[in-house]
Amino acid sequence: MACLPEHPTLNTSSPPNARLHIVLPDRRNLPRSIGSKAFLILLCAAALHMAGCAGNPPVTATAGSHVVLYADLSPNRALAMQQEADRCVQEIAGCLNLEPPEQRAKVILFGSRKALTRYLEKESPHQVGAAAACFITQNEYVVVLSRHWRWAETMRTLRHELTHYLLAAHFEKMPPWLNEGLAKFFELGPPYGSAHPGCLRTLANTLRRDNSDILRRIVALPEGVHLSKEQYAQAWALVHFLASDPRWGMGALKQYLKAVDSGVDQVAQFEKSFGRRPEAAHSSWRRHLLKLQGQAEGPVP
Tell the smallest beta-carbon distance from residue 197 to Zn ion (Å): 18
Tell the smallest beta-carbon distance from residue 174 to Zn ion (Å): 11
Tell the smallest beta-carbon distance from residue 93 to Zn ion (Å): 17
Rg of the Cα atoms in the chain: 22
The dihedral over CA atoms of 119, 125, 129, 132, expressed in degrees to the nearest 10, equals -60
Residues that bind Zn ion (CB under 5 A): 2, 4, 180, 183
Tell the smallest beta-carbon distance from residue 160 to Zn ion (Å): 6
Tell the smallest beta-carbon distance from residue 109 to Zn ion (Å): 17
User: Dihedrals φ, ψ of 117, to 5°?
Assistant: -60, -45
Whole-angstrom distance, CA of residue 109 vs CA of residue 154: 9
Three-class DSSP category at 96: coil
Tell the smallest beta-carbon distance from residue 131 to Zn ion (Å): 10
Tell the smallest beta-carbon distance from residue 182 to Zn ion (Å): 9
**What per-residue string of b and e applies to 182-202 under the rule 16 or more CB within 10 Å gives b?**
bbbbbbbbeebeebbebbbeb
Whole-angstrom distance, CA of residue 97 vs CA of residue 91: 10
C-beta closer to Zn ion: residue 164 or 282: 164
C-beta closer to Zn ion: residue 130 or 207: 130
C-beta closer to Zn ion: residue 183 or 215: 183
Tell the smallest beta-carbon distance from residue 20 to Zn ion (Å): 29
C-beta closer to Zn ion: residue 182 or 215: 182
Whole-angstrom distance, CA of residue 247 vs CA of residue 76: 44
C-beta closer to Zn ion: residue 183 or 257: 183
C-beta closer to Zn ion: residue 82 or 157: 157
Q: What is the DSSP letter of 191?
A: S
- What are the distances in angstroms from CA 196 to CA 170, 225, 282? 26, 23, 19
Whole-angstrom distance, CA of residue 35 vs CA of residue 29: 8
C-beta closer to Zn ion: residue 5 or 19: 5
C-beta closer to Zn ion: residue 4 or 168: 4
Q: Which of 155, 183, 125, 124 is nearest to 4 (CA)?
A: 183
CB burial of residue 111 (10 Å; 0-12, 13-18, 19+): buried
Half-sphere exposure of 279 (CA within 13 A, CB side): 6
